[in-house]
Structure formats: structure tokens, C-alpha cells
């Protein structure tokens, strides 16, 4: 069990992004971005600009994106739950700003469309109709606690803001490379499919 506690220094969003952009010019490793997010966070008054709240689902709000890396603020109302999903084989880091989140990590044991993983530029075409999944563990994520990550070995999870906590949550997510779609699993119906991911703070996705 990790018990690391960190207290990142709040910095203006421009400075935070400059730092991320600079790191992304070199080799991007899990450790490098992890350490950066333990050292710096976007100051509250700048984050406020990206906040959007909907009553029934989380919102994904773009802060920065280039070819290599994306940074977003996710706002989780009370009771928000993601479906079980993958991260397209990319790396991801989640740092808590307020509230708390439960992350349930899963591993796929088997499915009836393994050949659909043999595709360039994404982890899988999805489309299985029989899926065996194992629940590995559950992580509680809080501000100052260990960061939650996804990587090439741990890519499937579900995130919950439990209703009984009765508290909204905010988290900053960094992905490399940026992720435009992911595989979503419906274990009850025994099927999986690719779902497009969009930002809630823009209609289109212009280059920037
Ligand atoms: Fe995720």
C-alpha cells in the first residue's frame, strides 16, 4: 500500500503547462510526469476557469493539448460513475484537487475477439461478446495522496464518486498521448465497444 503524501506548489496555469510541454519534448516516462505532478499544481483561481458542473455526469474540460500530451480538469458531481473502460494503451496520471474518488482496477482475463487487438494506433477494435474480467483492487484517491495512474500493464478501471460521500470532486488528468476514444465494457450485457471522448468545454477540437 502506497502512503506517500505530497503537497504540490500552486502555480499559474501558463507556468504549469510550460513545464508539461517542456517535459513532453523529451522521453515521456511514467515517473517523470508523476514527479512533476507531485511538485506542481495549477492554482485554484486558474482552475476555476475550467470548472463545469452537470448534475448527472462528470465533465471533461480541456486545459492543454498537443500531439504528445493532454491536460484536463474533470468535475465529478456526487454519485458520478464512469463505465469500465480502457486507456488505449497510453499513460495517464490523475491528481485530486478536491473531494475523493474511488478507482476500481480490473484486468481482462479473456474475451472472444482477441484478434481485434491486432490493430495499429489503438489498443483494440473492441466488439467482443464474451468477456472475462478480474477485479484486482480498489484505490481511494484524495488530495495529497498518491497519484492514480494508468499504464501499459494497468489500463482498465472504473472511477466513482460515491453518493454516500455527498461531496463533489475535482481531479486533473494528464494523458500521453492524448486519448480520443476508449473501449468501454458492459459486463452485464457481455459486450465491449469503442466510445469517442469529447471535451465539455469546446464544441470542436481545434489544434492548439
Ligand atoms: Fe480512466
Q: Using one digit for the tens of pLDDT, what is the confidence trace for 146-171?
A: 999 999 999 999 999 999 999 999 99
The pLDDT tens digits of the residues spanning 19-60 come to 999 999 999 999 999 999 999 999 999 999 999 999 999 999
Q: How far is the CA of 175 from the centre of ligand 1 (A)?
A: 10
Give the C-alpha separation, 144 to 108, whole Å. Answer: 30
Counting every residue written for the chain, the total comes to: 208
Neighbouring CB atoms inside 10 A of 103's CB total: 18
* Dist. CA 10–CA 132, nearest whole Å: 43
93 CA distance to ligand 1 centroid (A)? 9
Find residue 79's DSSP bridge partners: none
CA of 91 to the centre of ligand 1 (A): 10
Cβ contacts of 150 within 8 Å, gap of 6 or more? 87, 90, 91, 92, 157
Question: How far is ligand 1, taken at its centre, from the CA of residue 35, in Å?
Answer: 20
Asked if residues 116 and 126 have their Cβ atoms less than 8 Å apart, the reply is yes
Residue 25 CA to ligand 1 center (angstroms) comes to 24
For residue 45, the CA-to-ligand 1 centroid distance in Å is: 26
Amino acid at each position: 500500500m502506497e502512503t506517500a503524501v505530497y503537497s504540490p506548489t500552486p502555480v499559474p496555469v501558463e507556468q504549469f503547462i510550460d513545464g508539461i510541454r517542456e517535459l513532453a519534448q523529451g522521453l515521456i516516462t511514467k515517473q517523470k510526469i508523476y514527479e512533476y505532478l507531485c511538485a506542481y499544481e495549477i492554482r485554484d483561481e486558474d482552475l476555476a476557469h475550467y470548472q463545469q458542473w452537470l448534475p448527472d455526469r462528470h465533465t471533461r474540460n480541456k486545459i492543454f493539448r498537443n500531439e504528445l500530451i493532454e491536460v484536463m480538469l474533470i468535475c465529478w458531481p456526487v454519485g458520478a460513475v464512469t463505465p469500465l473502460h480502457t486507456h488505449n494503451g497510453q499513460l495517464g496520471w490523475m491528481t485530486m484537487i478536491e473531494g475523493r474518488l474511488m478507482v476500481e482496477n480490473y484486468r481482462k482475463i479473456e474475451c472472444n475477439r482477441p484478434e481485434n487487438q491486432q490493430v495499429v494506433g489503438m489498443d483494440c477494435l473492441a466488439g467482443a461478446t464474451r468477456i472475462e474480467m478480474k477485479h484486482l483492487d480498489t484505490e481511494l484517491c484524495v488530495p495529497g495522496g498518491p497519484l492514480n495512474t494508468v499504464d501499459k500493464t494497468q489500463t482498465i478501471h472504473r472511477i466513482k464518486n460515491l453518493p454516500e460521500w455527498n461531496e463533489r470532486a475535482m481531479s486533473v488528468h494528464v494523458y500521453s498521448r492524448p486519448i480520443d476514444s476508449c473501449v468501454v465494457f458492459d459486463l452485464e450485457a457481455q459486450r465491449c465497444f469503442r466510445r469517442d471522448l469529447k471535451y465539455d468545454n469546446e464544441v470542436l477540437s481545434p489544434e492548439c
